[in-house]
């Protein structure tokens, strides 16, 4: 039994001005053919699960290609066509008995608002109707019914932060192997309640999402149900299929799959008000951090959530911390030009740098700071623990640590890097447990790394491309009505 494996993963924020092109994928991860295996085999990622599945479920690997880039604006049509053609051609040439594919589910290009479905359409056209295709999807995928009509198996992550990716890859691999052997005949159905979920309410450790996940696992024990995936959706994509969904994979009975998916979708709808979580504005949030006795206090910059496609150079919380004379904070800012200034000054040198505002003032006005260059780094590290995103090798580009007054530290990096790993700080000599306050540019994904060492968590309603309040955005293409907008 020969199984082709590959993937094309991007979470596209359609409100973000930065397009995602070939260079962005090279900055992330881009492999073709056999080199895909050593890059991903040890990662806590579904592709690592696909590779492990070869030994567990008795198939030979045919690695095709894998692309991943940090969330940002839509993928360019040029790169999309190139890489999708590479996947489709590679799968066809592999003459495989089945295909394991890692997609995100919220990829968008200028021509394709449902780009993941288009990837599947082209691969299906290349393979014909009889080769089974199993797909893993991010919990934030904006899943469309078209995906379920093209793929035989759709499996979504069921944790946020995403720490179950390798496990979900193994589940997809097992179901595909069973389908190839003729033991099951998987069919999918996608139910889509008209809901836009607040990212904080998507946290799978928080009620009522935790209870909904328990229900999904119980439903998987029903005869004939092979898999149930509750999907939160990605609210920063203005596309027709934006929003929550439920995927059910059943054994040969599409009616059974639909009934189960509709049941869980109705359960989601019944708790919709509880899935929207309020949080304080910056001034109040910083005051809370200053008076907190649970250290380090984590200020979660929701509007500049890099993992959601934001700029990573938001200054709203930095400016407020300076205004309120905070002491002992750590803030990471994407500031390539300031990094070059720090490199020119050298370790021990003094710099006056301006940070923020590189993509406009949506995330705050530029802030000028003065400090000493404490250290300079290449910005690479290896993460060995299960973390959101599942990546093992990380790179935030050339990085400078600037000592400000009052024990404050500003970390400047040259590649946008979500705070999914403590290695972002520990690899440059900062012990996060010793800080009084840390600004985390995320929503929930940071928790797998930061919650074990954090004190009080203060989620902040900051402005930006990933603002927690959906009313800040002008949607033109989504389905209406949509809760809570209507």
Backbone angles phi, psi at 14, to 5 degrees: -75, -10
Total count of domains within the chain: 2
Is there a contact between 244 and 272 (Cβ–Cβ < 8 Å)?
no
pLDDT at 336: 97
Q: Mean pLDDT across the stretch 438-446?
A: 96
Pair (193, 316) in one structural domain: no
CA dihedral over 299, 300, 301, 306, signed as positive or negative:
positive
Mean of the per-residue pLDDT values for the chain?
97
Does a structural domain hold residue 267? yes
Using CA atoms in the order 328, 333, 338, 342, what is the torsion angle rounded to 10 degrees? 40
pLDDT at 24: 97
Pair (357, 267) in one structural domain: no
Is there a contact between 253 and 224 (Cβ–Cβ < 8 Å)?
yes
Does a structural domain hold residue 477? no
pLDDT at 357: 83
Largest CA distance in the chain: 69
Pair (288, 262) in one structural domain: no
Is there a contact between 189 and 148 (Cβ–Cβ < 8 Å)?
yes
Q: Mean pLDDT across the stretch 474-483?
A: 97
Rounded CA separation 391/44 (Å): 7
- Residue where one domain finishes, among candidates 230, 246, 275: 275
pLDDT at 444: 95
Does a structural domain hold residue 237? yes
pLDDT at 278: 87
Q: Mean pLDDT across the stretch 64-74?
A: 97
Is there a contact between 124 and 133 (Cβ–Cβ < 8 Å)?
yes
Rounded CA separation 207/159 (Å): 13
pLDDT tens, residue by residue, 185-220 = 999 999 999 999 999 999 999 999 999 999 999 999
Residues 6+ apart with CB under 8 A from 329: 321, 408, 409, 435, 436, 437, 438, 439
Q: How far apart are the first and last CA of the chain?
A: 50
Pair (202, 308) in one structural domain: no
Does a structural domain hold residue 60? yes
**Residue 155's closest CA among 129, 179, 131, 121?**
179
Query: Per-residue confidence at 467, pLDDT binned at 50, 70, 90?
Result: very high
pLDDT tens, residue by residue, 100-109 = 999 999 999 9
Q: Mean pLDDT across the stretch 247-271?
A: 98
Pair (309, 258) in one structural domain: no
Whether residue 460 is predicted with pLDDT greater than 90 in this model: the reply is yes
Does a structural domain hold residue 194? yes
**Can you give the pTM of this predicted structure?**
0.93
Is there a contact between 174 and 52 (Cβ–Cβ < 8 Å)?
no
Pair (69, 196) in one structural domain: yes
Q: Mean pLDDT across the stretch 242-254?
A: 97
Query: Per-residue confidence at 353, pLDDT binned at 50, 70, 90?
Result: very high
pLDDT at 387: 93
Pair (11, 155) in one structural domain: yes
- Residue where one domain finishes, among candidates 253, 275, 297: 275
Pair (270, 334) in one structural domain: no
Rounded CA separation 437/442 (Å): 15
Does a structural domain hold residue 101? yes
Rounded CA separation 107/117 (Å): 9
- Residue where one domain finishes, among candidates 275, 293, 314: 275
Backbone angles phi, psi at 406, to 5 degrees: 60, 30
Does a structural domain hold residue 480? no
pLDDT at 361: 77
Q: Mean pLDDT across the stretch 323-338?
A: 98
Is there a contact between 10 and 28 (Cβ–Cβ < 8 Å)?
no
**Residue 446's closest CA among 176, 200, 105, 161?**
161
Lowest mean pLDDT among 232-236, 312-316, 356-360: 356-360
Whether residue 360 is predicted with pLDDT greater than 80 in this model: the reply is no
pLDDT tens, residue by residue, 93-126 = 999 999 999 999 999 999 999 999 999 999 999 9
Q: Mean pLDDT across the stretch 218-225?
A: 98
Whether residue 4 is predicted with pLDDT greater than 80 in this model: the reply is yes
Does a structural domain hold residue 346? yes
Pair (287, 258) in one structural domain: no
pLDDT tens, residue by residue, 123-172 = 999 999 999 999 999 999 999 999 999 999 999 999 999 999 999 999 99
What are residue 48's DSSP bridge partners? Answer: none
Rounded CA separation 408/71 (Å): 29
pLDDT at 471: 87
pLDDT at 358: 78
Is there a contact between 319 and 346 (Cβ–Cβ < 8 Å)?
no
Pair (359, 328) in one structural domain: yes
pLDDT at 111: 98
Pair (348, 234) in one structural domain: no
pLDDT at 27: 95
pLDDT at 65: 98
Pair (241, 269) in one structural domain: yes
Residue 84's domain comprises: 2-275
pLDDT at 404: 98
What are residue 72's DSSP bridge partners? Answer: 12
Q: Mean pLDDT across the stretch 312-323?
A: 97
Secondary structure in 3-state letters for the chain: CEEEEEEEECCECCCCCCCECHHHHHHHEEEECCCHHHHHCCCCCHHHHHHHHHHHHCCEEEEEEEEECCCECCECHHHHHHHHHHHHHHHHHCCCCEEEEEECCCCCCCCCCCHHHHHHHHHHHHHCCCCCEEEEECCCCCCCHHHHHHCCEEEECCCCCCCCHHHHHHHHHHHHHHHHHCCCCEEEEEECCCECCCCHHHCCCCCCHHHHHHHHHHHCCCCCEEEEEEECCCCCCCCCCCCCEEEEEEECCHHHHHHHHHHHHHHHHHCHHHHCCCCCCHHHHHHHHHHCCCCCEEEEEHHHCHHHCCCCCCCHHHHHHHHCCCCCEEEEEECHHHHHHHHHHCCCCEEEEEECCECECCCCCCEEEEEEEEEEECCEEECCCCCCCCCCEEECCCEEEEECHHHCEEEEECCCCCCCCCHHHHCCCCCHHHCCEEEECCCCCCHHHHCCCCCCEEEECCCCCCCCCHHHCCCCCCCCCCECCC
Backbone angles phi, psi at 190, to 5 degrees: -115, 125
What are residue 297's DSSP bridge partners? Answer: 437
């Amino acid at each position: 039994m020969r199984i082709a494996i590959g993937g094309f993963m991007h979470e596209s924020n359609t409100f973000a001005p930065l397009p995602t092109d070939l260079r962005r994928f090279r900055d992330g991860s881009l492999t073709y053919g056999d080199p895909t295996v050593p890059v991903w085999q040890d990662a806590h990622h579904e592709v690592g699960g696909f590779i492990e599945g070869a030994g567990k479920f008795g198939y030979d690997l045919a690695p095709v290609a894998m692309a991943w880039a940090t969330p940002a604006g839509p993928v360019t049509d040029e790169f999309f066509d190139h890489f999708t053609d590479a996947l489709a051609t590679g799968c066809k040439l592999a003459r495989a008995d089945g295909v394991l594919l890692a997609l995100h589910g919220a990829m968008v290009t200028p021509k394709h608002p449902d780009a993941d479905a288009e990837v599947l359409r082209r691969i299906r056209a290349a393979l014909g109707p009889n080769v089974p295709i199993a797909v893993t999807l991010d919990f934030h995928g904006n899943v469309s019914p078209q995906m379920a009509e093209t793929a035989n198996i759709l499996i979504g992550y069921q944790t946020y932060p995403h720490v179950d990716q390798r496990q979900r890859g193994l589940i997809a691999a097992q179901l595909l192997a069973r389908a190839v052997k003729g033991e099951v005949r998987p069919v999918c159905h996608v139910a889509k309640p008209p809901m836009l979920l607040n990212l904080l309410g998507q946290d799978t450790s928080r009620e009522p999402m935790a209870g909904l996940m328990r229900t999904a696992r119980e439903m998987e024990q029903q005869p004939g149900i092979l898999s149930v995936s509750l999907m939160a959706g990605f609210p920063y994509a203005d596309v027709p299929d934006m929003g929550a969904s439920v995927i059910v994979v059943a054994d040969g009975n599409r009616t059974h799959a639909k009934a189960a998916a509709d049941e869980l979708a109705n359960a989601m709808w019944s708790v919709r008000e509880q899935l929207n979580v309020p949080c304080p504005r910056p001034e109040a949030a910083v005051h809370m951090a200053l008076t907190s006795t649970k250290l380090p206090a984590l200020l979660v910059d929701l509007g500049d959530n890099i993992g959601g496609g934001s700029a990573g150079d938001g200054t709203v919380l930095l400016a407020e911390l300076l205004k309120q004379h905070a002491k002992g904070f750590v803030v990471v800012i994407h500031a390539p030009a300031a990094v070059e200034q720090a490199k020119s000054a050298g370790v021990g040198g003094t710099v006056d740098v301006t940070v923020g505002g590189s993509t406009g003032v949506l995330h705050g006005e530029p802030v000028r700071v003065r400090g000493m260059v404490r250290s300079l780094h290449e910005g690479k590290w290896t993460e060995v623990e299960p973390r959101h995103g599942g990546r093992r090798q990380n790179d935030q580009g050339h990085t400078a640590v600037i000592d400000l007054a009052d024990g404050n530290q500003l970390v400047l990096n040259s590649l946008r890097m979500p705070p999914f790993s403590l290695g972002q700080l520990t690899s440059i000599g900062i012990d996060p447990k010793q800080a009084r306050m840390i600004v985390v540019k995320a929503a929930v994904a940071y928790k797998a790394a930061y919650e074990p060492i954090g004190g009080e968590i203060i989620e902040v309603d900051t402005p930006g491309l990933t603002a927690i309040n959906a009313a800040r955005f002008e949607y033109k293409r989504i389905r209406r009505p949509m809760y809570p907008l209507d």
